[in-house]
C-alpha cells in the first residue's frame, strides 16, 4: 500500500508528480492559452484532478510555478554554458539554448510574459538570471568578442528575436531558420562594424 511506503519514496513520488504537472500545464497553456481547463492539464500529466488541486489550489499558483521553473532553468543554462573555455562560444551556446526554451514555451510566455517580467514576486529570480547572464556577457565582452553597449536584458530579447521567423513562416519553411537569424544577430553583437546603440537597454524588473 502506498501509505506504507517509506517517506523518501513518497517525497520522490510527490516531486515527480509536481514536475509532471508543471510540464503538462506549460504545454497545455502554450497550446490553449491560460484559460485552458485544469481537467486537461491533469489528464496530460496523468494525475487525478484531486492531486492537481492539492498541489496547486489555484491556477495562479500553477502559472507561478511554471515561471519559477523556467527562470531557474535559465540560470542553469547560463551556468552550464559558462563551463565552455571560450567566453564567446559560451554566450552563443546560451543564446541557442534560450531560443530553444522560448520556442518550446512560446505560447505560455506570450500569455504570461508580462507577469514573468514585472511581477515583484519574481524579482529575486530575475536578479539571479540577470546576474548569471551578466557573467556570461561580461566574459565575452572582456575577451573582445562582444560589443560593450549590450546589457543582459538585451541578450534575452535578441535571442527571442531569432524566433520571430518561425512564427510568421510556419508553412513549409525549415524549422532551423532561427539558427540562420541568430547567426546574423550574433554577428551584430560583435565589436566589428558595431554602430552606436541608442537608447540604453531596459532593466528587467
Q: H helices within 37-58, ranges in order?
A: 38-45, 49-55
- Matching residue, cell 537597454: 201
Q: Residue 164: how many CB atoms within 10 A of its CB?
A: 12
* Residue 20 vs 190, nearer CB to its own copies: 190
* Residue 43 vs 104, nearer CB to its own copies: 104
Task: Quote the CA–CA distance of 170 and 34 in Å, as a whole number.
Answer: 23
* Residue 134 vs 188, nearer CB to its own copies: 188
Counting Cα atoms < 13 Å in the Cβ hemisphere of 13 gives 10
The distance of closest approach from Cβ of residue 162 to its own copies in the complex, given in angstroms and rounded to an integer, is 6
* Residue 7 vs 172, nearer CB to its own copies: 172
* Residue 24 vs 67, nearer CB to its own copies: 67
Task: Quote the CA–CA distance of 35 and 7 in Å, as a whole number.
Answer: 36
The distance of closest approach from Cβ of residue 160 to its own copies in the complex, given in angstroms and rounded to an integer, is 5
* Residue 97 vs 105, nearer CB to its own copies: 105
The distance of closest approach from Cβ of residue 145 to its own copies in the complex, given in angstroms and rounded to an integer, is 10
The distance of closest approach from Cβ of residue 70 to its own copies in the complex, given in angstroms and rounded to an integer, is 13
Nearest to 113 by CA among 35, 33, 55, 41: 33
Q: Give the contacts of 104 (CB within 8 A, at least 6 positions apart).
A: 26, 30
Q: Which residues are near its own copies by CB under 8 A?
A: 109-110, 113-114, 117-118, 150, 154, 157-158, 160-165, 167-174, 176-177, 179-181, 183-195, 197-199, 201-202
The distance of closest approach from Cβ of residue 49 to its own copies in the complex, given in angstroms and rounded to an integer, is 30
Nearest to 70 by CA among 41, 33, 107: 107
The distance of closest approach from Cβ of residue 79 to its own copies in the complex, given in angstroms and rounded to an integer, is 23
Sign of CA dihedral 46, 48, 49, 52: negative
Amino acid at each position: 500500500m502506498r501509505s506504507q511506503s517509506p517517506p523518501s519514496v513518497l517525497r520522490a513520488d510527490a516531486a515527480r508528480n509536481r514536475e509532471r504537472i508543471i510540464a503538462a500545464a506549460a504545454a497545455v497553456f502554450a497550446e490553449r492559452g491560460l484559460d485552458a481547463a485544469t481537467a486537461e492539464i491533469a489528464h496530460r500529466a496523468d494525475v487525478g484532478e484531486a492531486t492537481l488541486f492539492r498541489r496547486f489550489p489555484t491556477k495562479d499558483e500553477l502559472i507561478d510555478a511554471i515561471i519559477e521553473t523556467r527562470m531557474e532553468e535559465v540560470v542553469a543554462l547560463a551556468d552550464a554554458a559558462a563551463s565552455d573555455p571560450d567566453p564567446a562560444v559560451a554566450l552563443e551556446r546560451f543564446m541557442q539554448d534560450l531560443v530553444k526554451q522560448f520556442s518550446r514555451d512560446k505560447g505560455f510566455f506570450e500569455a504570461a510574459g508580462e507577469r514573468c517580467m514585472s511581477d515583484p514576486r519574481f524579482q529575486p529570480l530575475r536578479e539571479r538570471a540577470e546576474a548569471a547572464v551578466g557573467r556570461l556577457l561580461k566574459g565575452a565582452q572582456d575577451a573582445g568578442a562582444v560589443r560593450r553597449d549590450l546589457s543582459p536584458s538585451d541578450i534575452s530579447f535578441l535571442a527571442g528575436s531569432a524566433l520571430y521567423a518561425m512564427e510568421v513562416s510556419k508553412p513549409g519553411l525549415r524549422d532551423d531558420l532561427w539558427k540562420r537569424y541568430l547567426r546574423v544577430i550574433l554577428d551584430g553583437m560583435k565589436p566589428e562594424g558595431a554602430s552606436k546603440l541608442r537608447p540604453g537597454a531596459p532593466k528587467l524588473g
